[in-house]
Structures are given as structure tokens and as C-alpha cells.
Amino acid sequence: MTAERPDQDLPATVHDDGRYPTTTPLDGVLADQAPTRLPVVPVPSAGDHPALSIQGLAKAFGGKIAVDGISLDVPAGSFYGMVGPNGAGKTTTLSMATGLLRPDFGTALVHGVDVWANPLEAKKMMGILPDGVRLFDRLTGEQLVTYAGLLRGMDRDVVASRVGDLLRALDLGKDTGTLVVDYSAGMTKKIALASALIHAPKVLILDEPFESVDPVSAANIRSILDSYVASGGTVIVSSHVMDLVQRMCDHVAVVSGGRLLAAGTVDEVRGAMSLEDKFVELVGGRNETEGLEWLRTS
Amino acid sequence: MVAHLVRLKLTLLRNGLKRSPWQLVGLIFGGLYALGILGFLVAGLIALRGAEAELAQTIIVLGGVAALIGWAILPIVLSAADLTLDPARFTTSAIPMPQLLTGLAIGGLLGIPGAATAIAALATVATWSQTVLSALGALLGASIAVFTCIVLSKVVTSATVSLSSSRKFKDASGIIAFIPLMLLGPIFFFVSQGLQDSAAFLPDFARILSWTPLGATWSVGGDLAAGNVGAAVVKLVVALATLALLTWAWKVLLARALVTPAYSGGSSKSSKKLGLFGVFPGTPTGAVAARALTYWFRDPRYGGSLVVIPLLAVLLVFQASQSGNFEILAILGPLTAFLMAWSISADISYDNTAFALHLSTGVSGRADRLGRAWACLILSAPVVVIFAVGPFFFTGSWEWLPMVLGLSTGVLLSGLGLSSVVSARYNVAVPLPGDSPFKKPPGNTAQTLLVQFAGMGVLLLLVIPEIALLIAQSVTGQVLFGWLALAVGAILGGVLFSVGVRLGGRWLDARGPEMLAQLGVNR
């Protein structure tokens, strides 16, 4: 936080009166999805604040420690992957970073704004796709995304035009009038993603965004996210598909047992190995396939 | 293999109980209740041994037919088919069909309904124990009867599995099943009156039924006791043929179900219609209200409480027409106001973890509270007014109208204010989204009851001024008190409504994440 430039603290996408702007980088991204298109919006000066900075986050459920003091900085404009085995504390960490779960210890700052001290301002900058929560699934897909936009106090006409763009970009154009409860698992993921994108956030925090999404839709989502990052946004995804993270992300954090094992650019973390091999080396627990000699067809 | 399936069913029952001690308590109470009814039935059947043979035969055949129909219909209506041994789960384990059928049929016997039916059926052996032959006949008939019940229920559930797994059917049946339950009193009254009127006809009816597949198996013992050996043999053949036919049908349906899993998806629809979202103001409060009102119509858990209201009116009118005293109808308005206002006292619990959207968008607690209360008010205000005014067309005592209107308004507004506070603070056990409104909800039942009772007590305190004016008018007969109640109801109610929305909103702002964490427990 620099005293000389206090304006820098204000999130770029939120006007001084707290209302949402009518045009944002995402509009351009969605209107023209060509992934090769060069960013027209300059990458924000990354010097001041990381997009997300968490310090010593910790949470225990009952006597069981789920997250044991995780600190990491996500640079603005990065595509950040968070990987870890099942039960590593990824979802818990992301929930605490996004204001959904109150941490026992630690702080989370989004572009310098404390999520827990100043939740309204922080939530305006974040688009969140939580994992394992229900949706208001008796609404149609179109109604659900509209609802998410209106809840954020956005203008109805802006919401309406963005909902159309988003649903088309996510291949949900045919199902706008279907109740979300009748969607398949992959479609449900996509509609939740649309709800997280509607307000053109500065930081996208996506928990397992590619789970049960078909390859074509996954490719579409990736190109949307790539353009979004190229235009200055920050994406944080959790996943346990290492291959995907290695191809998609430029930064990665490895979490296991509620602790941070490694963090940095993908190349720094993996060194000469593939990310998957490095991950197994860091986390451990790999069994050599012995003792299944009978599992042979001959 | 059959033993494996039976053991699997027993293990599933036992593990189901292990999940929480409360479930065990529930089963014990349910079991005691069933045991009480069963005790009556068995005692009655044993007592019938000494009764006139024709009477005994009529009762057993009609009762048996009713049991058979119940086994066929109840699983669909309550969408509560016993899925612990769902055939769809055995698709990948290649079990020979005859063994699968036997295992599933015996598995169907284990559990309260199966065991109760078996015990009651076997009690008919005591009824017909005059001679050894008739006792043996009754035993044979009862055994066939029990398996016919189970196989029939399996046939019906497997035939309708694609229907009953569709969401729309589940939604509708959840609400429709409310109606007979609510109207149990009048239905019972009319049925018993009808039975009294047609008492002479019943033995003939039972005699005819006893030759049909529905009643044949129940009448074998009675015919043998009456010495009609020929008739008994024919009925035994009818009963066995029925069971064989049903088993064959079940086998065919099961074989089909094993290779074609139920498809429950809907057709895709695209529309440019936003429904209520286009009608309400484009503000967070308006959006919450549009969402809540949409849910009142689309979610059977809300629809269930809506359908109760007109049924309540029917029930009260029935009651009044029985006693000839229509004054009681005056409570309809305040009662409806109370039920509607209190129905949103668990609104966030109904959302379950979908509430995360409100939290992640940072919508203010006040907009959340106000939107929900607003939706409920829009829906309930016309109903309450109609139900408050309507009874006076029956009674004609119009001097009480301002009082009843005032009390109804007061209860509705104060109740909505209170509900806004309660639902912001307490997470209570309600059926999960998508579940039948009947389904016993998971979670802390003790806290739920405590919150409900304490909340109603507080509401009673909040409307003390209106109640005091009611007493004043009863004592003095002055209509002035009625007009005062109307003013107090509107003004005090309005104040309490706004206080409730503000207080609830502030609590929600402060404790949103804690609320979400509690909701996540009941998934």
C-alpha cells in the first residue's frame, strides 16, 4: 500500500460510487472469444498488491485440523493452480479466502482489501465458484444467473445482456429455460461458473471447475479463462488433474494435509520432472504395483 | 445368494440405525405405534374366531383387499418405495434371476410394513382354527397373501420407476399426498357413514371379491371352515395363479429395468422469459423476493404448506357444519395469518447450502430478509383478507369484522417480523431440497422443536395488545375496540415487521458464514 497513490487501493472495476461499470474487459472477452486475440486492456501494474494474499490461514473442525497455517501470494494477472490430494484442505482454504468460512487464524487480502474486515468491497472483486454447495436449482438457468447479477446490485439491462453472452459462450443457449435441477452435473458446473462471472470480477476463484464437464465445454471454459487472464484478470483454480494444471496454469501451489508444500511458477515447482511426478514426490503415498500379479489376462 | 441378499438387507437396516441415535428413537416410537395397531388387529382377528363365520369372512376379505391395495398404491404416492434393495444397484453383479427375485421378495418382508403384514395375515390362522383343515388352509392363504402383497408392490414400483423418478411426478405426488392426510377426519366420517348405510351390501361385496385375484387368497380359510372345500380349492388356484402371474410380470419388468436404467432427465427448453424476475424491481431486494415467490410455486416443500391453507378452511367448515356453530370460523383469518407468517421461519434452512450464493455475492442481510418477507406477504395478504372476511357471510356478526381483520393483520405482520429474525439466527431441521415434504428431515430435531415452540410463544407475546382488545370487546361488546385493534394491528404490526427485518438482517450480516457452516452439516 503506497501512500503516494491511494487511488491504487480502489479496485479498477468498481466505480467510486460503488456501482458496477457497464463495460468491462470481460465484455470484450465474451463478445469475441478468439483465444489468439491479444489483450487490449493493459495488464495492471502488479507491483502494489497481489490479487490474493493469504497469511497463516488455519481452520480446525472439532479436533481435526483441516488447514494448518497456509500463506501464499497469488500475483495479479496470473493463472494460479492449487493442487492437492483429496482432503488436503483446498476447499477449506479457498472458502476462507472467499468469505464463505470464517478462519480460526490468519487473514486473506484481495487486491489489498481484507476479506474478513471489509467483506463487501472484497466480494465485489471476487467471482466465486464454490465446490459442494447446492444452487437455487428450482430456477431456470437464465433466472439463476440473472439472480446472481441482481443480488450484486447490478443494473437489470446489463445483467440481461451479459446473461445472454455467458450462456451462449458456455453452450447453455439451448437450455436457458430448463430448471437447473434438471441439468446434468457438467451443465450445473457451467451455470455456477456463469453466476460467478456475471459481475466481471477482478479475481476468479474456482473450486474444481472442470469436474464432470465434457471435454468440449472444458476447452471453451479454458479459452474464456485464458482470454480473461490475458486481459488482466486473475484466475485461481483448484484441481487434482495435474496434467490440466500444468498445461493451463502459470503458477501452482501444492497443498497436502492442510499445509503448503510448494508454491511458485509451474516451472519452478516441477523442475525437470512433470508436475504429476513432482506432485507424487512431494505428497508421497505412491504404491508400486506389487501384489496384484493375479490381475493379468494371460 | 438368497441368504446374501437377505443379510445385505439386514446389514443396511442396522447401519441405517447406527447413523444417529435419534433415528433409533424414531424407529422405536414408530415401532411402538405399529405394534399397538398390530396388537389391536391380532386381538381382533383372534376374537373373530368366536364370531359369526360370515361376519369374520367379510371382515378378513375386505381388510385383506385393502391391505393389498395399500401395498400397491402407497409406495408410489409417498414416493417412499423401499430402495434399500433397489434392483438398479444389482445391474453389475450378475445374480441369476430366480435367486434375485427370491432374495428381493424375502428382503421385502424384513422391515416394519412387511413384518406387520405378515403377522396380521398369520393371525387369521387363529380366526379359522376351528378345524385343522381350515387352519392349514388359512395358513396357506395367508402365506400366499403376504407374498402377493410384496410382489404386487414390486411390480407397481418397477413399472412406474421411470415415472416416479421424474422430478415433476415427485413434486406433484409430494403435495397431493398431503390432501388425504389433512382430510382424514371428514374422509373417515363419510366412509364410516357409507359403511353404515351399506352394511347389508358388504357381505355380498366381500363374497364377490373373494372370487377375484384380489380377495381369493384371503378367503381360503373361511371357506374351509364353512365346509366349502370345492370353493376353497378353486380360490387357492386363483390365488396361486395370481401370485405366479405377478411374479412373472415382476421378472419381466426387473429384467428390463436391469438393462435400461431409469432416465430422469428433462427435455431442454430455451426461453427468453425471466418469469417473476422481470416483474419485481431490479434490486437485490426485488431479486430475493422474485426468487422466494418463484420457490413458493416451484418447490413442493413450500407448495405443501400452501395447499394446507385451503384444506384447513375445508376442515373448519366441515367441523362447523357438524356442530352447527359457525362462530369458530372467525379464527380462520388469524390462524392463516399465523401459518403463513411462520412458514418462512426456516427459510434459510430450506435454502440449504444454496445460501452460499447470497454470501458470495455479499447481498445485505436486510435485502435478504426484506425480499423473503415481501414475497410471503404478497402471497398471504389476499388469502388472509379473504379468510378473515369470508366467515362473516356465514355468521353475519359483522360487528366483529374490524377486530378479526385487526388481529389477522397484527399476527401476519408481527409474525413475518419474528420469522425474519428466527430464520436468520437458527438453523432447523427441514426436508432437503428435492426431497418430499414428508420425508423426515436430517438434523437436530430437539433444537427444531425448541425453536418452533419458543418462536410461537414470542409471537403470542407480540400480539398481546390485539388480544387484550379482543377480550375488551368480548366483555363490553363495544365495536370501538375492534376498530382500535385494526389500527394497532396495522401500526404495531408494521413496526414489528420493520424491526424484525432490520434485526434479522444485522444478525445475518454478522453471522452469515457461521450460518452457512451449520447448513452444510445437514446435507
Alpha carbon distance B328, B412 (integer Å): 19
- Residue A34 located in a structural domain: no
Grid cell listed for B263: 432416465
Question: Same domain for B375 and B512?
Answer: yes
| Nearest-neighbour CA in chain B from A117: distance (Å) | 11
Per-residue pLDDT for A38 more than 50?
A: no
Q: Where are the beta strands (DSSP E) in chain A?
A: 52-61, 64-74, 79-83, 105-110, 113-114, 126-129, 203-207, 234-239, 251-256, 259-265
For B312-321, what is the mean pLDDT? 83
Give the pLDDT confidence of B125-176 residue by residue, as tens digits.
888 888 888 889 899 999 999 999 989 988 887 777 666 666 677 677 667 7
Distances (CA, A) of B446 to A226, B428, B442, B449, B451: 51, 9, 12, 5, 9
Most confident of the ranges A16-25, A216-225, B157-166: A216-225
For B209-219, what is the mean pLDDT? 88
Question: Same domain for B210 and B310?
Answer: no
Per-residue pLDDT for A34 more than 80?
A: no
For B33-51, what is the mean pLDDT? 86
Give the pLDDT confidence of B382-406 residue by residue, as tens digits.
999 999 998 888 888 888 999 999 9
Q: Per the structure, how many domains does chain A have?
A: 1
| Nearest-neighbour CA in chain B from A47: distance (Å) | 27
φ, ψ of residue A17 to 5 degrees: the values are: -85, 10
- Residue B408 located in a structural domain: yes
- Domain holding A145, by residue range, is 49-281
Give the pLDDT confidence of B338-347 residue by residue, as tens digits.
989 988 888 8
- Residue A31 located in a structural domain: no
Contact state of A133 with B274 under an 8 Å Cβ cutoff: no
| Nearest-neighbour CA in chain B from A276: distance (Å) | 32
What's residue A41's pLDDT? 41
- Domain holding B140, by residue range, is 2-259
Question: Same domain for B82 and B187?
Answer: yes
- Residue B268 located in a structural domain: no
Best to test chain B binding among A136, A152, A180 (most B CBs inside 10 Å)? A136
What's residue B165's pLDDT? 63
Are B328 and B320 in contact by the 8 Å Cβ rule? The answer is yes
A181: which chain B residues are within 8 Å (Cβ-Cβ)? 167, 434
Contact state of B269 with A178 under an 8 Å Cβ cutoff: yes
Question: Same domain for B101 and B243?
Answer: yes
What's residue B420's pLDDT? 94
Q: Which of A143, A153, A195 sits opposite B277 (nearest CB)?
A: A143
Question: Same domain for B162 and B228?
Answer: yes
Contact state of A176 with B271 under an 8 Å Cβ cutoff: yes
ipTM exceeds 0.90:
no
- Residue A102 located in a structural domain: yes
Among the listed ranges B96-100, B226-230, B289-293, which one has the minimum average pLDDT value?
A: B96-100
CATH of the domain at A94: 3.40.50.300
Give the pLDDT confidence of A141-187 residue by residue, as tens digits.
999 999 999 999 999 999 999 999 999 888 888 888 888 988 888 88
Question: Where does a domain end: B199, B231, B259?
Answer: B259
Alpha carbon distance A121, B478 (integer Å): 57
Question: Same domain for B15 and B118?
Answer: yes
- Residue B269 located in a structural domain: no
A147: which chain B residues are within 8 Å (Cβ-Cβ)? 277, 287, 290-291, 357
CB neighbours of B187 closer than 8 A, spacing ≥ 6?
B180
Per-residue pLDDT for A20 more than 70?
A: no
Alpha carbon distance A179, A192 (integer Å): 13
Give the confidence band of B496 by pLDDT, cuts at 50, 70, 90.
Answer: very high
- Residue A232 located in a structural domain: yes
Question: Same domain for B329 and B218?
Answer: no
- Residue A9 located in a structural domain: no
Average pLDDT, chain B: 83
Among the listed residues A189, A252, A199, A251, the one whose alpha carbon sits nearest the alpha carbon of residue A221: A189
Alpha carbon distance A192, A180 (integer Å): 10
Question: Where does a domain end: B259, B289, B313?
Answer: B259
- Residue A35 located in a structural domain: no
Give the confidence band of B370 by pLDDT, cuts at 50, 70, 90.
Answer: very high
Task: List residues in chain B touching A: CB distance below 8 A.
Answer: 167, 265-275, 277, 282-284, 286-288, 290-291, 294-295, 298-299, 351-354, 356-363, 433-434, 513-514, 516-517, 520
What's residue B449's pLDDT? 78
A123: which chain B residues are within 8 Å (Cβ-Cβ)? 360-362
Best to test chain B binding among A19, A98, A120, A139 (most B CBs inside 10 Å)? A139
What's residue A40's pLDDT? 39
Give the pLDDT confidence of B4-17 residue by residue, as tens digits.
877 877 787 777 66
C-alpha torsion B293→B295→B299→B305, nearest 10: -40
Q: Per the structure, how many domains does chain B have?
A: 2
What's residue B178's pLDDT? 67
Q: Which residue has the higher pLDDT, B140 or B254?
A: B140
Question: Same domain for B164 and B293?
Answer: no
Give the confidence band of B78 by pLDDT, cuts at 50, 70, 90.
Answer: low
Alpha carbon distance A97, A114 (integer Å): 10
- Residue A247 located in a structural domain: yes
What's residue A42's pLDDT? 41
- Residue A260 located in a structural domain: yes
- Residue B272 located in a structural domain: no
